Amino acid sequence: MKNKSSILLLLLFVCQLASATEKDTITRFTYQKMHLKSLSLEDDCDACGCSASGGSMGFSSMLNSNFVGIRYFYQSYTSRDGIFANSPWVDENFNTAQVWARIPVANKIQISALVPYHFHNRMLSTGEENIDGLGDITVLAMYTAIQTMKDSAVYSHKLQLGGGVKAPTGKYKSSNNLGTVNPGFQLGTGSWDYLLAAEYVVQRKKLGLNTMANYTFKTENKKLYQFGNQFNYGSTLFYLFDVDQIKLVPQVGFAGEVYETNRQYKQDVPDTSGDILFGKFGVEAGINKFSVGVNAMAPINQNLTGGKVEANYRWSVNLNYSL
């Protein structure tokens, strides 16, 4: 218990330090009661740019049920530089370095935390624009409602339900949106947002399927701007390979995001709703208490901001230490 408390205090210290500068499982890789966690509990993107923490790259590790780690992810977008039909297209690059963790606090309760640092850039007709700084910190609690892990069972099942909060630790500047159509070019939403999440895993021996869904309620910020609520869903098929002392878990699946209309001064902002469906694939490898993962996502179908913003691809890499 002292170790868990120390880890929680360390996370709080990291959050505080970054704010000041502004800018289950195969734990220990054993087979008993194996419950592989997928790239699940997708975090939200704020309509085409993702000023939030996860960019739908995931909120948990495949090989580590409980862990602390670091992650980098990149997102590529193309959007109109202006509000007119003939405005030129520009490239937007969203980079995030992140401290993330999943820590057990009780028999059936886990706490996840994401502390992101963003550095984004885009090349406008007036020149290059760059923003960087602490993003919005997310904390999520998950409760294991159902778990059947008997060794004699043909299939094992696990259902987790939970909720969380995203704090407005990232700076929101309304000037970043002037003359552009992508409202997500921000470090944060500037608002307190709230999440509900569910995750279900079914597994037979080394083959498993993870299905997840979550919904984010977004509130109005101090600039009287409110990003639309967001629904995320996805499913991932995974398989465990045991190569000597190394565990390999390839995975393939899909993930979808649905954005409601943004609002400003209590009025709907035109062309800010949308939806997108990604195909995703990746692999995680682990030895002893360390694991590394690489994942990629490519759009299958999308309709973002009335076709004025296009998602190109996303990828991430992470290094974790199992608790």
pLDDT value of position 88: 87
Q: What is the largest CA-CA distance in the chain?
A: 66
Please report which confidence band the pLDDT of residue 124 belongs to, taking 50, 70 and 90 as the band edges. confident
pLDDT value of position 8: 45
pLDDT digit string (tens) for 50-95? 444 454 555 667 677 789 999 999 999 998 877 777 788 899 999 9
Of 35-39, 55-59, 94-98, 193-197, the range with the lowest mean pLDDT is 35-39
Q: Which residues of 51-68 are buried (b: 16+ CB within 10 A; e: fewer)?
A: bbbbbbbbbbbbbbbbbb
For the chain, domain boundaries:
2-322
The answer to whether 135 and 160 are in contact (CB under 8 A) is no
Of 47-51, 172-176, 294-298, the range with the lowest mean pLDDT is 47-51
Q: Which carries the bigger pLDDT value, residue 55 or residue 177?
A: 177
pLDDT value of position 98: 95
55 CB-near residues (< 8 Å, 6+ apart) = 43, 45, 73, 75, 94, 96, 314, 316
CATH topology of domain 2-322: Lipocalin (2.40.128)
Q: What is the mean pLDDT of residues 194-223?
A: 94
Q: Which residue has the tokens 């704090």?
A: 167
Q: Distance (Å, rounded) from C-alpha 79 to C-alpha 91?
A: 7
pLDDT value of position 44: 42
